[in-house]
Chain A
Amino acid sequence: MATNLIKIIWQTVLLWLVFRLGVFVVGALHLSLPGNVAGMLLMFALLASGLVKPACIEAASGFLLKHFAFFFIPISVGLMSFGSLMRQSGLALLAILLLSALAGAAVTGVSVQLLQRRRER
């Protein structure tokens, strides 16, 4: 239990360092890419090249991703300052979200299935 906690902590430090590196790279190169995306891509490159073994980040990644949704709560509370927007256009927004999500899912699903069938022939 205690050793597992220590493992999670130092692995989180490693993840944090790669995150900061991502933020730094994006800033230094003036990319219009979020720093966390750069960090994720860097970590993927480190794993793919074998410089970082999956076991080096497995404990912390498992823990953080299991509770990934927790971090969204404090961010979503900020919605409080958009009360008037929600009262005014709440239904319109819901319609937009519904329509666009279903359009995207249908296009991806149908196009991928067509592509697979054509390949099989």
Chain B
Amino acid sequence: MSQVLFIVFVLLTLGAYLATRWLFLTYRSPLLNPVFLSTVALIALLQATGLTLEDYRPAKDFMTFLLGPATVALALPLYHNRQVLTRHALPVLSGVVAGSLTTMAAALVVGRVLQLDRGVLLSLGPKSVTVPIAVEISRLNGGEASLTAAFVVATGMIGSIAGPALLTLCRVQSPVARGLALGTVSHGQGTAVALLESETAGAMGGVAMAIAAVFTALVAPYYLPLFLQ
């Protein structure tokens, strides 16, 4: 029984991903986010059939096995864009540092005003970082992995939908600045939108996403507790 369930879950997850990816590639709307739609569909299915997260866990562990190697693979686009990093070192570093510290502080301060639990606040901390790294930062600092994953995906959608309009409203025209802003706050999804604006913006977004992940991982253990006292 459990083997059948395992195979069914893997096939359903793959099927949901392929179907929603097709939808996204066909209509190109950030609202049709494949992760968001697939997750909603799978949770609805589990709820409707009365199955639990424990039933899904073996399939989950199997499917996320390659996430480690995939995260290591992020080094390759960073390596290809290394000239961007050296040529624009000052704007990249200051932009990523300013944006990462601001977004973490804003989330924790507002969260505290709204009286959210400590665990939820810690899960909010790394929400601007790409999922696999955000999840690990969350775990190391006392947050909940799946909450953080959901916050990251939502942040990616928010940034890719509202980010470009906000930057235009703030009169940010420089492709370097726009790319860095989108990549720092909305990781891969922001980078994808930046890439649609221009090649420079896309390259900056990719570099910002990688640097923001490393920077957030380094400062989170010392920075997040400042807002929890």
Task: Give A contacts to B, CB under 8 Å.
Answer: 12, 15-16, 18-20, 22-23, 32-37, 39-44, 47-48, 54, 57-58, 60-61, 64-65, 67-82, 85, 89, 92-113, 115-116, 119
Contacts and interface: CB of A to CB of B under 8 A. Distances in A.
A54 B81 CA distance: 12
Contacts of A108: 95-96, 98-99, 102, 177, 180-181, 184-185, 208
A90 to B, nearest CB: 11
Contacts of B17: 67, 69-70, 73
A9 B68 CA distance: 14
A104 B100 contact: yes
7 contacts: A36-B132, A37-B217, A40-B210, A73-B42, A93-B151, A99-B110, A101-B103
Contact residues of A: prevailing secondary structure: helix
Contact of B59 (A40, A60, A74): A74
B94 A112 contact: yes
B214 A37 contact: yes
A89 B135 contact: no
B172 interface: yes
A47 B47 contact: no
Looking at A42, A48, A68, the one whose CB has the most chain B CB atoms below 10 A away is A68
B196 interface: no
A33 to B, nearest CB: 5
Contacts of B75: 40-41, 43-44, 47
B73 A105 contact: no
Contact of B99 (A19, A37, A104): A104
Interface of B: 13-14, 16-17, 21, 34-35, 38-39, 42-43, 46-47, 53, 56, 59-60, 63-64, 66-80, 82, 90-91, 94-96, 98-100, 102-104, 106-107, 110-111, 114, 116, 120, 124, 127-128, 131-133, 135-137, 140, 144-147, 149-155, 158-159, 162-163, 166-167, 170, 172-174, 176-178, 180-182, 184-186, 188, 208, 210, 213-214, 217-218, 221
Contacts of B77: 65
B66 A80 contact: no
Looking at B35, B43, B60, B76, the one whose CB has the most chain A CB atoms below 10 A away is B76
A46 to B, nearest CB: 8
A40 B71 contact: yes
Contacts of A37: 71, 133, 136, 213-214, 217
Contact of B172 (A48, A58, A67, A110): A110
